[in-house]
Every structure is written in structure tokens, then in C-alpha cells.
Amino acid sequence: MITLGLIGKNIKHSKSSEIYEALLNKKVKYTIYDYPTTLEIPTLDKIFKENLGLSITSPYKRFFLDQVEIVGPDLNAINCIKKSGETYLATNTDYFALSDMIDDFSKEFKELYFVILGDGVMSQVTSKLLENKQISFKSLSRKTTPNFKNLDIPEEIGAVEGQVIVVNSCSRDFSFNGRLSKDYLFWDYNYNFLPHQRSIPTKVLRYIDGLSLLKLQAKYAIKFWDI
């Protein structure tokens, strides 16, 4: 049986096991390593005695950086590790999944303008991608933006060229209650997040749940793990 693991914090809601079993069409032994702090995280040697591949989610995407060799773009954050011989190789499959989805938006709309909510790892990966693709964006966060939760985004960004896509890269302890526009897309990196599923769709042109991103990221992880 294929054995995989996921390290994160407050991740009991994870649907990754179901997604991998659906993609691989076979049973997967999937271990959730849910730790409130880094002190409890086991060594990679211990983890890989039991697992073929390891996924990492927030807030631990930088925890193993000094123990791995990076494959692909160096984003100062990883979410996927495998063992090759005595070496641990790591990559960021979020980057590739996000790139594919942004390319799909570019095919649908002539021009794009992104508003990124949050300043964590996913925000930084998204910003890097948009810079590489020469797509305009603005980043807003709880640390730098007053009344962030109730922000009036149309007022904040003013008139811009292109289809506005608001990206929520914040953790699940944040829900956006501010003003949007019926012309916007709202792309939630969280999946099955009820506060947004209930309130956002009627305020925008389209609400994109994070499950599609998770599934695409999983496809890239399977390819990276060679399974």
C-alpha cells in the first residue's frame, strides 16, 4: 500500500487522503501529523521510515528548508518532500498548480489584475508567479491594512485595467466581510470554508473554492513522488 503523510497545524479537516485515493485509484495509508508547534515535529528520517512521500502545509513550509535539496524554483518555501538515496528532495507544487490556474484565467480574460489578501507563504508564492508572468497585482494584509477584515476593496484599488481577481491566501481563522464588486472573481485558497461559501458567491461574479487548487497540487505531488 502507498504510504503518504501530511504535516501541518489544525489540519484534521484535510481531504487530501480522499483526493490521493481518487487520483491513484487505490487505497492510500495517509498519516496526518497535526502539531501545534515545531517542537513536536519528528525528523525526516523517522517520517520516511513510514512514508513514501510527505506533504507540508502552513505554517511549516519553511521548517525543513535546511535539510533538503530544492528541485524547481527556490521560493523559500516547500510543500512536498521525497527521499532519493540518502538525500531529501523538496519542491513547491503549489507554484505549479497556481501557475496552471492563472494561465487558465489569462485564456479566459484579456487582462488580469490580482488583489492578494494576506502576506504569508502562499501570498509570497502568488506574488512571485504574477511578477514572472508580468501580471499586475496589489497585496493587502492584516499587518499593514487598517480594518482589513471589513475592507472596501473597490475603494482600495480604484479603477484598474483587467478582470479583478481577489485571492484569499489567509488562514482559516480569517473570514472576509468587506465590500466586493459583482464584477470580481473571488479565489479562496481555503477549501470547503463555510463562512466564505455562504457569504461571498452572491457578492461577486464567481467564487472559486480552494478544492480545485488542492486537487491540482496533488497531481503535481504524485508526479514528484514518482507514484
CATH code that applies to domain 2-93+215-225: 3.40.50.10860
Q: What is the CATH architecture of 95-210? A: 3-Layer(aba) Sandwich (3.40)
pLDDT at 13: 82
Q: How many CB atoms lie within 10 A of CB 102?
A: 20
pLDDT tens for 81-134 read 999 999 999 999 999 999 999 999 999 999 999 999 999 999 999 999 999 999
pTM value surpassing 0.85: yes
Starting at the edge strand that comes first in sequence, how are the strands of the sheet with 53-56 ordered?
Answer: 28-34, 2-8, 53-56, 80-84, 87-91, 69-70
User: Is there a shared CATH topology between the 2-93+215-225 domain and the 95-210 domain?
Assistant: yes
pLDDT at 83: 97
CB environment 163-180: b (16+ within 10 A), e (fewer): bbbbbbbbebebbbebeb
**Average pLDDT score over the chain:** 95
Domain boundaries, the chain: 2-93+215-225, 95-210
Helix (H, G, I), strand (E, B) or coil at 123: helix
Distances (CA, A) of 96 to 102, 184, 213: 10, 24, 10
Helix (H, G, I), strand (E, B) or coil at 41: coil
pLDDT tens for 56-80 read 999 999 999 999 999 999 899 999 9
pLDDT tens for 11-42 read 888 889 999 999 999 999 999 999 999 999 99
The DSSP element (H or E) to which 33 belongs, if any, is strand 28-34
pLDDT tens for 133-170 read 999 999 999 888 989 999 999 999 999 999 999 999 99
